[in-house]
Chain A
Amino acid sequence: MSEMITVNLKIWRQEGPDTKGVFEKYTQKVTTEASFLEMIDLLNEELNNQGLEPISIESDCREGICGTCGVMINGQAHGPRKATTTCQLHMREFSDGDEIVIEPFRAGSFPVIRDLVVDRSPFDQIIESGGYISVNTGAASDANLTPVPKEAADQAFDAAACIGCGACVAACPNSAAQLFTSAKLAHMALLPQGQAERWKRTESMVGTMEEFFGSCTNHGECHEACPKEISLDFIAFMNRDYMKAKVKNRALSGQR
């Protein structure tokens, strides 16, 4: 079923964080069975053969779980296919002669390192400020020692599906990181293991988020862009927890 197509690429080239970037045009012949990154690999091989600088693009697992490969494809984070990362996107989504504009994720706190690679370390800083739980060391406890309701486990798992690719920030007209932060908070706040640091964690992670990112206006673009379809419900959950954390005095935290 494979067929060869020729696509016209318009790709953002930028030598380094301090230089100005420009769009450059390329033409690439590729089979529809190739993945989007394989198409760029082919192009890079050719550029290399011609003695030109290949295009820098991040990729790691190429199976949609590491979150490094995100780029804007025709103005959509991770391209036109829903719930799909750039590496899992295939050229069959495009037809012969299509123009494809490829540019890096854009946000104030996502500076371009080179070409399509952006620095997403503010996400790391959000995680660093509270994304952990405390457990006792020693032998691992029995698997089902801590009862977790099925619904809570499912929800926590849905939140934990976030791969931290940054598509939510890139797609957001406000460059807000609410979807990422709320997913990272929810997968711990929903489980018993995450309760000890719950309120402190919410306060500090939201605090760090607000140092780097914009303010949510509930457009819902992040959810549409998210390759893991993280729900907007988590944003509401975060807002609720944040207010609870700020308003209550937990000196007697056994109190309900």
Chain B
Amino acid sequence: MTQTTSERYRVRPIRERRREWPFPFNLYQTAVGRKWVMAVTGIGLLGFVLIHMIGNLHVYEGPAKMHEYAESLRNLGSGIMPRSLILWLLRLGLMVMFALHLHSAITLKEMSRKSSLNATFQGGEKKYEGGREYIAANYASRTMRWTGPIIALFLFYHLADLTWGWWLGDDFVAGDPYHNLYSSLSRIPVAIFYVIANMALAWHIFHGAWSMFQSLGINNPKYNHLRKGFAASFAGLILLGNLSFPIMTQANLIDEDERLCQVDDLEGTDEILACLTKQLEDH
């Protein structure tokens, strides 16, 4: 093959090899290493999504228990360290993982785009005139680059909505997650947005939680058949748990009718939180 083309037509590298960075960072210079980073941060984010979903199930125990759960997160390790320190370290870890996950995804996508430049493109995908019928690639694997940004946008909305309280206005009570969740999700457009975003998340996990095994080289024919099942059940579990919140709120199974500490009757955040704490002690 090499002889058939003259030096003028020699295929030249699309990417020049850069000088290698010092040890742990040189892994991130290569695509295979970057996929490792994507998989490892993916595992971390999966862990967060799972714990977040399980923790939020406290909402079914009522406002006081939900408040207690939120407090317990802030009090993690508080006997030894300043209050909220562990929580902030966890948050920092999440931010780093999220940033790396995003950065590796964007740069690897760019690398693949460059490697397909001679091919025809349609809608961001390499295209053949004869039509391209995907056999193995499923809808989830081909839409990772769409479900990803949807999740990122949702994450921003979700933080602004329930952590910073940008849109709830006077309805936002810092430290009373039950009330905030109810106020937010009882609005139909918000509930619909949550449902769509969580479907995108489950879709993303469905491919990611299988793909990570391959990227990390965790492959043994004895157990390989379990990997896709694991990904499907993980995605299903997350979907079930997370969808229950907007749906149950809309179905009025999460509501504030029988709440002991009614937000409207009390003055200020401190009083509400004090009432919730008292309710817990009385219990």
A contact residues vs B (CB 8 Å cutoff): 10, 12, 17, 23, 72-76, 101-103, 106-113, 119-125, 172-176, 206-207, 210-221, 223-225, 232-233, 235-243, 246-247
Contacts and interface: CB of A to CB of B under 8 A. Distances in A.
B126 A215 contact: no
B116 to A, nearest CB: 4
Contact of A207 (B1, B17, B221, B224): B17
B118 to A, nearest CB: 5
A123 B216 CA distance: 24
B11 A221 contact: no
Contacts of A211: 13-17
A47 B26 CA distance: 55
Contact of A221 (B5, B27, B32, B137): B137
Contact of A111 (B113, B118, B215): B118
A103 B112 contact: no
A123 B129 CA distance: 25
B31 interface: yes
B128 interface: yes
A175 B119 contact: yes
Contact of A108 (B118, B125, B210, B216): B118
A121 B224 CA distance: 34
9 pairs of A and B residues whose beta carbons are closest in the complex: A240-B217, A236-B219, A220-B136, A101-B130, A214-B112, A174-B112, A214-B115, A219-B137, A106-B119
7 contacts: A74-B130, A75-B131, A75-B133, A101-B130, A215-B111, A237-B219, A242-B32
A109 B1 CA distance: 14
B129 A236 contact: no
Interface of B: 1-2, 4-5, 9-11, 13-17, 26-27, 30-36, 108-109, 111-120, 125-126, 128-137, 141-142, 144, 207, 210-211, 213-219, 221, 224
Given A111-B118, A173-B142, A235-B214, A240 B219 contact: yes
Contacts of B224: 233
Given A23-B129, A111-B9, A235-B214, A215 B16 contact: no
B37 to A, nearest CB: 11
B214 A239 contact: yes
B49 to A, nearest CB: 20
Contact of A75 (B9, B132, B216): B132
Given A219-B136, A233-B224, A239-B217, A109 B11 contact: yes
Given A73-B130, A122-B11, A237-B217, A217 B115 contact: no
B191 to A, nearest CB: 32
Contacts of B129: 10, 12, 23, 75, 101, 103
Contacts of A233: 219, 221, 224
B33 to A, nearest CB: 7
A247 B207 CA distance: 27
B177 to A, nearest CB: 36
A120 B11 CA distance: 8
Contacts of A119: 1, 4-5, 9, 11
